[in-house]
Structure 1
Amino acid sequence: MTTLTQTGRAMNSAPNEGHRGQIKSRERVRDLAEVYTHHREVNAMLDLVPDMFPTAENPGNTDRKFLEPACGSGNFLEEILQRKLAFVTTERYGMGQRYEHRILRALASIYAVDINDENVEESRDRLRAVINSHIDNDMNTKAVSSAFSDAVDVILTTNIVLGDTMSKRADITFVDYKAGKGGTFTREWATLDSHNEGLFAMFAPVDETPVHYRDLLANPGPTTAKATTR
């Protein structure tokens, strides 16, 4: 996992459009220490970890995990997802389940926290917009399934969360989505743990049976051995 380490919130992120400067307001700087990173710095930082993204030689490298501990309005998150999806195409994966699952895998490997609920909602919206734009450009007039859209919302809710990574780290819970065969995930619930090398401290519950992405909305909690998935 790559963590985009920041000093306080001085390296917080900003959208590509809508913020011409490095701040939204003086009040937010005062209350949140919120100063935004320019897009060129975002790209420069991500260029330092090329092995974290798919390439022509390794197009399936979409599952490497990123954690943004103070994500702001999502500029890092947006660029990370765009780089992951650049190699998720209908030419490579077709237009059905494999394509939808691969997009969800790319999204599910991105985690973020912010102390401001407006930033959390904006970050989720921006990632949703990245996926919609990618699909529009790649599939043209074709459409993804409604269950895929539901799964996007589920993953955004579990992975882009409200919290304080400076002082209340143990209160932050994520879901680790482990991709399986046939469009499935096995989920492990996790908290952030400063003593864990992988940053996630796993705890019960864990899915006992894999969950198809079409069933994520209907199964917000862990499945049991008796549960059935498609």
Structure 2
Amino acid sequence: MAVNNQKKSQIISRQRVAERGEVFTAEREVNAMLDLVANECLRPDSRFLEPACGNGNFLTAILKRKLSELRRKYKNSPYDYEKQAIVAIGSLYGVDIMRDNVDECRERLFSIWNEEYTAHCKSEASEEARQAAKFIISRNIINGNALTLMCVDSEGNDTSAPIVFSEWSFICGNQIQRSDYTMYELLQKKEIRERTLFAQRDEKNEEGGTFLRRYITHYKKVQDYGE
């Protein structure tokens, strides 16, 4: 379900409700739901996917909780905070069919991340890390149709491009690995896991989906490899 904050109406327009079923959830309900998985909201690497993310109230609320915990845990280590803040922003995924929602969600996530990052790291904050976070957000928040699992055009109509998510994983020191998978394959794999107690795991399945692209680089350089 799409979400919005309490300062705005729960609907933008009746037309959007009729055409897209867009109804926004109040902030109080968002936090009540997140309290049910409170411990997961504190782990920087615990992944969350909102398939109708709206302008991002669920995702921004989760990010605030993650960053607050990181600030407490790494209050004397800006370097470790920076790395884990990248992990945290890389753990949040969203899809929405409305382009304005996607743009606002991306902006809100980066604004929250950057404000906390700058406040904590102060003079040690780097523009490279900011650009890395912004790039990761652009890869993780997708303008698409979560029902058909396809990206959409400016009118909200399906294109021929599937929704693709990037998995971000630190593998050694400052090196981060990006691995791309289609949303379709990730959901198919999830269904297989739920149905099968013991399954043979080949290289494809071990990664959780069909491999599309992978590279390894310094975590501040992820944006240098383009889309």
TM range (shorter): 0.7 to 0.9
Runs of 4+ more than 4 Å apart: 93-96
Structure 2: distance between partners of 1:37 and 1:112: 15
User: Is contact 2:82–2:117 with CA below 8 Å preserved after alignment?
Assistant: no
**Other structure's SS at 1:197 match:** helix
Aligned to 1:213: 219
Q: Which moved more, 1:98-107 or 1:75-84?
A: 98-107
User: Is contact 2:5–2:25 with CA below 8 Å preserved after alignment?
Assistant: no
Aligned residues: 200
Aligned to 2:110: 128
The runs of 5 or more residues in structure 1 that have no matched partner are 1-10, 55-60, 222-230
Structure 1: distance between partners of 2:148 and 2:39: 31
Structure 1: distance between partners of 2:168 and 2:62: 17
1:106 Cα shift? 0.2
Structure 2: distance between partners of 1:16 and 1:70: 18
1:85 pairs with 2:93: no
Per-residue CA deviations over 1:160-210 (Å, capped at 9, x if unaligned) read: 011101123581101100123322211110111332118962313222xx3
User: Is contact 1:16–1:75 with CA below 8 Å preserved after alignment?
Assistant: no
Aligned to 1:202: 210
Aligned to 1:148: 129
Structure 2: distance between partners of 1:186 and 1:116: 30
User: Is contact 2:114–2:130 with CA below 8 Å preserved after alignment?
Assistant: no
Normalising by structure 2, we get a TM-score of 0.80
Counterparts in 2 of 1:1-230, with a 5 A limit? 11-17=1-7, 19=8, 21-54=9-42, 61-89=43-71, 92=74, 94=76, 96-139=78-121, 141-142=122-123, 144-169=125-150, 171-193=162-184, 194-197=187-190, 201-207=209-215, 210-220=216-226
Cα distance change on mapping 1:201 and 1:211 into 2, 3 Å? same
Cα distance change on mapping 1:12 and 1:190 into 2, 3 Å? same
Structure 2: distance between partners of 1:100 and 1:41: 30
Q: Percent identity?
A: 34
Normalising by structure 1, we get a TM-score of 0.79
User: Is contact 1:188–1:202 with CA below 8 Å preserved after alignment?
Assistant: no
Structure 2: distance between partners of 1:69 and 1:213: 26
The runs of 5 or more residues in structure 2 that have no matched partner are 151-160, 193-207
Aligned to 1:3: none
RMSD: 2.2
User: Is contact 2:168–2:177 with CA below 8 Å preserved after alignment?
Assistant: yes
